[in-house]
Amino acid sequence: MLVLISCSTQGKLEYITAEGEHKTACETEYIWEPSVDKYAVEYILSYCAKKTVQRGNKVVDESLVNLDLTIPLTPNGKPWTFDYAKGLHKINGLSDKEYGYIIAYIDLGLNKE
């Protein structure tokens, strides 16, 4: 008998428009490694929260607006890739938080800016 257990880390951004309307945006889910996934979700929600506030809305979880989303520079001086980040994480060259943030950063396409 084979039993598969799937873990997922999910999140969504709740905000209030200038007109007082409650809305939800940036629903995200990561299914891989919970210790890393929680940081990827945190990064995406914080990134969205900052953009939402810039548009004049109020974020329900204001702590997301204050997170530092700084991504470390790559040791090789090139843009981050999934494989490179995974390799560094495997040899403890990146913390779970750094790795999760980098995964989300890449998923958002920010490594191409």
| Sheet order of strands, 9-16 included | 22-30, 9-16, 58-59
**Per-residue confidence (pLDDT) for residue 3, from 0 to 100:** 45
**Per-residue confidence (pLDDT) for residue 113, from 0 to 100:** 63
Percentage of the chain lying above the pLDDT 90 cut = 85
**Per-residue confidence (pLDDT) for residue 4, from 0 to 100:** 46
Question: Where do the H-state alpha helices sit in 1-113?
Answer: 34-54, 82-90, 96-107
Please name the helix (run of DSSP H) or strand (run of DSSP E) that holds residue 66, with its range, or none: none
Q: Is the pTM of this model over 0.95?
A: no
Rounded Cα gap, residues 10 and 37, in angstroms? 9
**Per-residue confidence (pLDDT) for residue 15, from 0 to 100:** 97
Structural contact between residues 48 and 26, judged by C-beta atoms closer than 8 angstroms:
yes
Q: Place 33 in a pLDDT band, splitting at 50, 70 and 90.
A: confident
